[in-house]
Amino acid sequence: MTATELLPPHVLTDPDHIVVRGVHKTYPGAPIRVLDDIDLVIARGSFVSLIGPSGCGKSTLLRAVAGLEPIDGGELTIFGATPEEACGYKAVGLVPQTPALLPWRTVAQNVSLPARVNRRAEHRRAARYGMGGPARTAGGVGTAELLDLVGLADRAKAYPSQLSGGMQQRVAIARAFGLEPDVLLMDEPFSALDEFTREAMRLHLLHLWQRMQTTVLFVTHSVREAVTLSDRVVVMSARPGRIHEVIDVDLPRPRDREVLADARLHEVEDRVRDSLQDAWDSGAKPADLVPA
């Protein structure tokens, strides 16, 4: 059973989509909308990347989906529930840029502890609201398997300080999937890593995503990363933050080495690069704007 299956049926009006419709937002004192008329439909189980110039509102949109950033108008629903409802039921997880592990816990404990704490909270909630029995058993992915999926099976007893940055981020990603969220929001999770480690991380992430069937919304500055990972790449433009273009990545899965060497991958990358250039050309430049 996944988290949204625990949501009361009345909020699950659209169990198959995250819907963002006409969403807009302006930060207080800012001269222009950070999000302007954002329309996006994300199919359940898909992998979608957001890419665009710095400051175009990618993180703001991600935080809005996470229920951490209020919007000024429009509609935003996660399988029919509001972001607040979805977060209340732990249906949404967030992986930040830095891993934020507990230094005094081992790798295995860092991965298993949040899930155990959550399960206790769910038991309490179930007892209080009569929502049914124990939750989150369907994915059934234990700590050992999660660590195996991110290539850290042999480091279960190590402490974070004994790991490289890339390994720590893999632990953070295993932990996030261990919570079995229906939606995982990832804000440039590999930005601090070198290109070689990033490549390995992409493969680990794809393994986990395929195994867990989580819906992923992924912010990145890397065209290669967006195309390699995603079903769809959402190109945003800045000032105001708008969706410039949504590009389907019609490449087979699994995205193994053969697929990644295919000429079609480079064609899609070129399309995304051209779109980014257009997006950059179409947005107002910082010097054009006068603060309100």
Ligand X SMILES: Nc1ncnc2c1ncn2[C@@H]1O[C@H](COP(=O)(O)OP(=O)(O)OP(=O)(O)O)[C@@H](O)[C@H]1O
Phi, psi of 142, rounded to the nearest 5 degrees? -85, 170
Q: Does 11 bind ligand X (CB under 6 A)?
A: no
Which residue in 3, 57, 89, 178 binds ligand X (CB under 6 A)? Answer: 57
Q: Using the rule CB under 6 A, give the single segment among 26-34, 169-177, 206-214, 222-230 that binds ligand X.
A: 26-34
- Token output for 179: 């919570």
How far apart (Å, rounded) are the C-alpha atoms in residues 41 and 241?
17
Contact at 8 Å (CB) between 82 and 13? no
Minimum distance of ligand X from residue 27's CB (angstroms): 3
Contact at 8 Å (CB) between 173 and 151? no
Minimum distance of ligand X from residue 222's CB (angstroms): 11
Contact at 8 Å (CB) between 186 and 95? yes
Total number of residues binding ligand X (CB under 6 A)?
A: 11
Q: Does 34 bind ligand X (CB under 6 A)?
A: yes
Q: Does 147 bind ligand X (CB under 6 A)?
A: no
Amino acid at 63: R
Q: Using the rule CB under 6 A, give the single segment among 53-61, 75-83, 171-179, 255-263 that binds ligand X.
A: 53-61
Q: Does 56 bind ligand X (CB under 6 A)?
A: yes
- Token output for 247: 């590009």
Residue with tokens 């989150």: 136
Minimum distance of ligand X from residue 42's CB (angstroms): 18
Which residue in 2, 4, 49, 59 binds ligand X (CB under 6 A)? Answer: 59
Amino acid at 250: D
- CA end-to-end span of the chain: 49
Q: Does 27 bind ligand X (CB under 6 A)?
A: yes
Q: What is the contact surface with ligand X in residues (CB under 6 A)? A: 27, 30, 34, 52, 54-60
